[in-house]
A = this chain, B = another copy of it.
Amino acid sequence: MLNFRNDYGAGCIPEILEEIKNNNNIVHTGYGLDEQCEKAKEVIHSKMPDNDVDIYFVQEGTQANIVMIRCALKSYEAVIAPDTGHIVRHETGAIEATGHKVIIVPNHDGKITPDEVQKTYESHMIDSEKCVLPKMVYISNCTELGTVYKREELEALHAKCQELGLYLIMDGDRMNTVLMSGVDYTLNDLPKWCDMFSIGGTKAGALFGEAVIVSNPELKPNFRYVLRQSAALIARGWLLGVQFRALFENDAFYKNAAHEIELAQQIQSFLHDNGYSLLIRSETNLVFPVLTKEQFEYLAEYVDFDVWEKRDDMLIIRLVTSWSTTQEEVDQLCTYLKKASELV
């Protein structure tokens, strides 16, 4: 069975196992105050040298979203998110469980636009305290649909947020694929646009872990209190430090992304060339072909993947490449896709 279900099914890069082994005999200070975390912060900071940021490590993605939102919002403040946003549907109400409303707006190719932010803000302010106070915009980059925010989109969104007094936070679960997708910005630009953002390790070659970057000075104080309250500090915090060091010191973080995008784009082109419709033109490691029932059934025998959506008689599936996906697996997948394309 070929695995194109997700980018966390397989394990981590070998360097990380090596580093965990090397550090396992050393006594570390607990809860993220160790040297490995310090070094990991240094190397991450070296990727955004123009910025004065605080850096933390948490176990996983929902936790990153919880701590960013919990640290920033007052009880009556809310976060605006596109309907495709991970916090909207796939975190079991974790944000609402912290007491905050998620205001949902329509996505445009998985993204949120300044116009949508403006409209939502206005419609809430008209009724003043009858509505929650919009205070934050949440975006995913790359989006849940594999699309990527362009420089000018982020600049415009940032400008709109500044104008309206909103925080902008970015869920960077698959941030590495963004940075290697051909955009004309780097990690160094993000702190200027975002008050906080996360950098995913789990899907970038680590075993687990996300970095949380806080750039807005007013959100920095007491951040470790928020982490601790959210169960986001593990005793052996050095585990996160060594993973992020290993990802960034030799740029595995970037190289893994380049590899998986290359393979995903091969698949996407192949699909296009062979008459498949696509839900959307993805720019990263996610591909969304539209299948007939027959194609779906044929493919499901040989390939493991997720169903994204059902539409009438068609099924939209999601194919995902990861750092460990091989060219051979992609070639084999294309063979199956070819045969499936001839089924109808």
Chain A residues close to B by CB (< 8 Å)? 3, 6, 8-12, 14, 17, 20-21, 23-30, 59-60, 62-63, 66, 70-71, 74-76, 78, 89-94, 96-102, 104, 127-133, 202-203, 207-208, 222, 224-236, 239, 304
Question: Min CB distance, A210 to chain B, in Å?
Answer: 11
B-chain residues with CB within 8 Å of residue A207 when the two chains form the complex: 20, 236, 239
Number of copies: 4
A26–B8 touching, CB < 8 Å: no
- A62-B235 contact given A90-B127, A96-B96, CB 8 Å threshold: no
B-chain residues with CB within 8 Å of residue A234 when the two chains form the complex: 59-60, 202, 208
Given the complex of chains A and B, what is the CA–CA distance between A318 and B90 in angstroms?
38
Given the complex of chains A and B, what is the CA–CA distance between A70 and B93 in angstroms?
14
- A127-B89 contact given A75-B97, A98-B75, CB 8 Å threshold: yes
Given the complex of chains A and B, what is the CA–CA distance between A99 and B90 in angstroms?
16
A24–B30 touching, CB < 8 Å: no
A225–B76 touching, CB < 8 Å: yes
Q: Would you list 20 pairs from A and B whose C-beta atoms are within 8 A, ordered by A residue?
A: A9-B28, A9-B29, A11-B24, A11-B26, A17-B21, A60-B234, A71-B74, A76-B222, A76-B225, A76-B229, A89-B127, A90-B130, A92-B129, A92-B131, A93-B101, A96-B101, A97-B98, A97-B229, A133-B222, A202-B235
A208–B239 touching, CB < 8 Å: yes
Given the complex of chains A and B, what is the CA–CA distance between A11 and B24 in angstroms?
4
B-chain residues with CB within 8 Å of residue A98 when the two chains form the complex: 75, 97, 99
Q: Which residue of chain B has its CB nearest to the CB of A63? A: B231
Given the complex of chains A and B, what is the CA–CA distance between A202 and B90 in angstroms?
28
A224–B94 touching, CB < 8 Å: no
Given A89-B130, A128-B224; 4 other pairs, CB 8 A cutoff: A9-B29, A62-B228, A208-B236, A231-B232
B-chain residues with CB within 8 Å of residue A304 when the two chains form the complex: 27
Question: Min CB distance, A119 to chain B, in Å?
Answer: 11
Contact of A94 (CB < 8 Å), options: B91, B202, B231, B239: B231
B-chain residues with CB within 8 Å of residue A17 when the two chains form the complex: 17, 20-21, 24
A27–B12 touching, CB < 8 Å: no
A91–B229 touching, CB < 8 Å: yes
B92–A76 touching, CB < 8 Å: yes
Given the complex of chains A and B, what is the CA–CA distance between A220 and B100 in angstroms?
20
Given the complex of chains A and B, what is the CA–CA distance between A26 and B9 in angstroms?
8
Given the complex of chains A and B, what is the CA–CA distance between A8 and B27 in angstroms?
8
Question: Min CB distance, A302 to chain B, in Å?
Answer: 14
Question: Min CB distance, A169 to chain B, in Å?
Answer: 16
- A228-B78 contact given A202-B235, A202-B236, A236-B207, CB 8 Å threshold: no
Contact of A93 (CB < 8 Å), options: B62, B76, B92: B76
